[in-house]
Structure 1
Amino acid sequence: MASISSRRLAKELREIQSEGCPVGISLLEANDFAKWLFTIEVMGDSVYQGEVYTLQFRFDSHYPISSPAVQFVVTDGKEAPIHPHVYSNGHICASILGNEWSPVLSVIAVCVTLQSMLASCKKKERPTDNDRYVRNAPENPKKTLFHYDGEHYNFKSTYLQD
């Protein structure tokens, strides 16, 4: 019997393959139900206009009840976007990846949200605690509990234990 996670991911993959992705989003790899890669290009007039980034999604057996681990890929000369919600190691501080995750959200919905987050940014800058966070960050971004103060772009992070 297939798990809820694998059935849901198979359904999402079928939809992507039959309907395609929204403009600026492309599926690179979905060889299994553990890790998927997408590229997202920021569309429209933005400080990221025309820039393309790679997103990695990792799924555990509790998806879609639990959120995927999502981060920008930082390898082979690629870097994460310089953004107040994105650390230089690719980890993303976004409420939909944490306490505002809902099982009704899909992989494509997350891609579109992150594409919109980049498109609406007015100034390229890293989170204020980028260096400290990257030095101490766990490999899996889901092991971090982010707290965001929207007024000052002041990020605080707590590391979760296994």
Structure 2
Amino acid sequence: MGSVSARRLAKELREIQSEGCPVGITLVDASDFSKWLFTIEVMGNSQYQGEAYTLQFRFDAQYPISSPAVQFVVTDGKEAPVHPHVYSNGHICASILGSEWSPVLSVIAVCVTLQSMLASCKKKERPADNDRYVRTAPDNPKKTLFHYDDDT
């Protein structure tokens, strides 16, 4: 882990510990600076009301210059949310995690953005190319060159 990366993650962790997380977001594990886990739950009336999902953040030595690898955790009994931008293996097609990443964004900002993405979903469905993508997807979603479509 690079020193800039470690300093930045230590700062973000201190802020989370002192200020807490926004409603519906819970830090589950941040025992080291390579991987953090959060749960996110959409608050209010939405397609995902009452559902909670685990998000995994993996950091490389270039964080925050380079985005974290973020995905929903998929294990026995735990699925990724059914959403047009979330593959069944937990990979997320969101420009904020790719071409529109900015070092000013924080882990909490990413959690809030993904919480909002779920809250605004009108129809629970998988991406059209889900089966093909999942068969050929790399372990790290950052190795995928997603094509970002504007939902409007």
Deviation of residue 151 (structure 1)? 5.3
SS in structure 1 opposite 2:147? strand
Q: 1:23 to 1:151 in 2, by over 3 A?
A: closer
SS in structure 2 opposite 1:146? coil
Deviation of residue 59 (structure 1)? 0.0
Instruction: Work out the CA distance in 2 between the residues paired with 1:13 and 1:151.
Output: 33
User: Counterpart in 2 of 1:18?
Assistant: 18
Instruction: Work out the CA distance in 2 between the residues paired with 1:24 and 1:141.
Output: 24
Deviation of residue 50 (structure 1)? 1.4
User: Counterpart in 1 of 2:43?
Assistant: 43
Q: 1:76 to 1:24 in 2, by over 3 A?
A: same
Instruction: Work out the CA distance in 2 between the residues paired with 1:143 and 1:52.
Output: 26
Unaligned stretches of 5+ residues in structure 1: 153-162
Alignment RMSD, CA only?
Answer: 1.1
The 5 A counterparts of 1:19-34 are 19-34=19-34
Instruction: Work out the CA distance in 2 between the residues paired with 1:44 and 1:130.
Output: 28
Deviation of residue 149 (structure 1)? 2.6
Deviation of residue 138 (structure 1)? 0.1
The 5 A counterparts of 1:129-148 are 129-148=129-148
Instruction: Work out the CA distance in 2 between the residues paired with 1:108 and 1:81.
Output: 19
Confirm whether residue 66 of structure 1 aligns to residue 66 of structure 2.
yes
* 1:93-135, Cα deviation, whole Å (9 max, x unpaired): 0000000000000000000000000000010000000000000
Deviation of residue 148 (structure 1)? 2.4
SS in structure 2 opposite 1:12? helix
Unaligned stretches of 5+ residues in structure 2: none
The amino acid that maps onto 2:105 is: L
Runs (4 or more) in structure 1 with deviation over 2 Å come to 148-152
Structure with more relative contact order (C-alpha pairs < 8 Å, separation 6 or more): 2
- Normalization by structure 1: what TM-score? 0.91
The 5 A counterparts of 1:67-82 are 67-82=67-82
Q: 1:151 to 1:35 in 2, by over 3 A?
A: closer
* 1:33-55, Cα deviation, whole Å (9 max, x unpaired): 00000000011110101110000
- Normalization by structure 2: what TM-score? 0.97
Instruction: Work out the CA distance in 2 between the residues paired with 1:6 and 1:113.
Output: 23
